[in-house]
């Protein structure tokens, strides 16, 4: 079965501190992993993806994610959070077997000044 878990409904960090938003997945075969961000009443915006290659993936707006095959995780990270990073973040996993993306339930990131 194909599934994604984002164990935290909300993550709170202070501006300037590092942030981590967690994601674990389950999929048959090789995983295709994505992070998206959503601002209120808007669609999702693509941040980064892992298909193959280097386990550390760099994306938009200074975000990066680390693929860990043994822990089946794909955590989103940023060295220094900005207030403007406050939004809803979704992890998604795709499988060539199903041809579909499955999304996690989302994590709200709150960055306080």
| Structure tokens belonging to residue 39 | 């601002």
| Structure tokens belonging to residue 76 | 């989103």
Closest contact distance (angstroms) between CB of 62 and another protein is 18
Closest contact distance (angstroms) between CB of 78 and another protein is 19
Instruction: State which residue, 22 or 49, has the beta carbon closest to another protein.
Output: 49
Closest contact distance (angstroms) between CB of 66 and another protein is 19
Closest contact distance (angstroms) between CB of 55 and another protein is 17
Instruction: State which residue, 68 or 98, has the beta carbon closest to another protein.
Output: 98
Distance CA 82, CA 57 (A): 20
Instruction: State which residue, 4 or 76, has the beta carbon closest to another protein.
Output: 4
Residues that bind another protein (CB under 8 A): 4, 9, 32, 34, 36, 41-46, 49, 51, 90, 94-96, 98-101, 103-106
Alpha-carbon distance values, 66 to 1, 24, 31, 95 (Å): 23, 11, 13, 19
Among 83, 103, 89, 30, which Cα is nearest to 59's? Answer: 89
C-alpha torsion sign, points 49, 51, 54, 56: positive
Instruction: State which residue, 42 or 58, has the beta carbon closest to another protein.
Output: 42
């Amino acid at each position: 079965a194909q599934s994604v878990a984002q164990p935290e409904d909300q993550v709170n960090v202070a501006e300037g501190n590092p942030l981590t938003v967690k994601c674990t997945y389950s999929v048959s075969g090789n995983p295709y992993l994505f992070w998206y961000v959503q601002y209120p009443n808007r669609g999702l915006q693509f941040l980064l993806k892992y298909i193959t290659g280097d386990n550390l993936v760099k994306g938009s707006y200074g975000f990066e994610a680390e693929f860990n095959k043994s822990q089946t995780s794909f955590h989103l990270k940023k060295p220094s959070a900005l207030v403007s990073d406050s939004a809803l973040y979704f992890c998604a996993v795709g499988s060539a077997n199903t041809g579909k993306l499955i999304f996690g339930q989302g994590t709200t990131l709150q960055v306080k000044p």
